Amino acid sequence: MRHIDFSPLYRSTVGFDRLFSMLDGVGQPEQAQTYPPYNIERTGENTYRITMAVAGFDEKELSIEAHAHVLTVKGEKSEEEASDKSEYLYRGIAKRAFERRFQLADHMEVRAASLKNGLLHIDLLRNIPETLKPRRIAIAADVLSTPKTIEAQPDPQKVN
What digits encode the pLDDT tens for the residues 98-114?
A: 999 998 888 889 999 99
Helix (H), strand (E) counts: the chain: 3, 7
As to burial, measured by CB atoms within 10 angstroms (0-12 exposed, 13-18 middle, 19+ buried), residue 100 is: middle
Q: Does 42 have pLDDT greater than 80?
A: yes
The answer to whether the pTM exceeds 0.75 is no
* Rounded average pLDDT over 18-28: 65
Kindly tell me if the per-residue pLDDT of 65 is higher than 80.
Answer: yes
Spatial neighbors of 126 by CB under 8 A, at least 6 apart, are: 46, 47, 48, 105, 107, 108, 109
- The residue ranking higher by pLDDT, 129 or 100, is 100
Task: Kindly list the domain boundaries of the chain, sorted by start residue.
Answer: 1-30, 33-80+87-128
Q: Categorize the per-residue pLDDT at 53 as very low, low, confident or very high, splitting at 50, 70 and 90.
A: very high
Domain 33-80+87-128 in this protein, CATH class: mainly beta
Name residues whose C-beta falls within 8 Å of residue 39's C-beta, 6 or more positions apart in sequence.
49, 50, 51
Average pLDDT of the chain, as a whole number: 79
